[in-house]
Amino acid sequence: MISEPTILSKNIGWIEVVCGGMFSGKTEELIRRARRAQFAGQRVVIVKPEIDKRYDEVNVVSHNATALPGIVAATADQIVLMTGNAEVVCIDEAQFFDNRLVDVANTLANSGKRVIIAGLDMDFEGKPFEPMPELLAIAEYVTKLHAICAESGMPANYSQRVVESDKRILVGESEAYEPRARHCFRPPVDSPKRKQTIAFNQNAPETYSKKVDANKVVNTKSADEADQVADADKPADKQ
């Protein structure tokens, strides 16, 4: 469920948190909100942690390759210095920042800025991933997104690690993680279960076609039947 304010008040700040497991669309949602704010004529700054260089060293990039220009911060405290004139501050991959991010988010919101934060709410063991729990607690608006379980196809809110490592922070992509539903989540590490992606419209019946005639579309089983339908629509010849 998407939860964000519908009325953007001037000089009144607040915090929005978008959370969920990996591949749930958190960065995509952050980018969507950032673009809407930009279209509204607001000054937007997008910040990402220095550790996240998976797709680009500076730009904020989603798993679907949607991207916006960003700036890189090594610590949470640097964000305050980087966003002085911004009206909207977007912070991606919040779980990679230190716990000072909670105070920083409050400082920004209290100064009248809209703060949009996206991040993982649980680590690879299914435990709360700081500082996200604290950010969820202080936020006015919270959105939890779900991916699709790689094993069962059901909504997934866990991030299953599929490579051997006991590090809590292991920056990786689909080679290291899979989305899993609760009943398919096996921490700390499990073997990959990802299914092959089937292309859209693959194996669609070839006997069906679409015939466009003026203002209507007729679904037909064959070209001959399509011609019969077209002939039936013609006015009868006058005797």
Beta-bridge partner residues of 19: 119, 144
Cβ atoms of residues 15 and 109 within 8 Å? yes
Looking at this protein, which amino acid is placed at residue 68?
L
d(CA 5, CA 222): 51
Nearest to 123 by CA among 47, 16, 19, 49: 19
DSSP lists the bridge partners of residue 209 as 220
Would you name the residues annotated as active-site residues?
Answer: 93
Q: Tell me the two tokens of residue 81.
A: 């210095």
**Cα 78 → chain centroid:** 25
C-alpha Rg value of the chain to the nearest Å: 24
Are 34 and 68 contacting, i.e. CB atoms less than 8 angstroms apart?
yes
Give the separation between CA 39 and CA 197, rounded to whole angstroms.
34
Give the DSSP letter string of 7-34.
S--TT--EEEEEEESTTSSHHHHHHHHH
- Give the other-Cβ count within 10 Å of 139's Cβ: 21
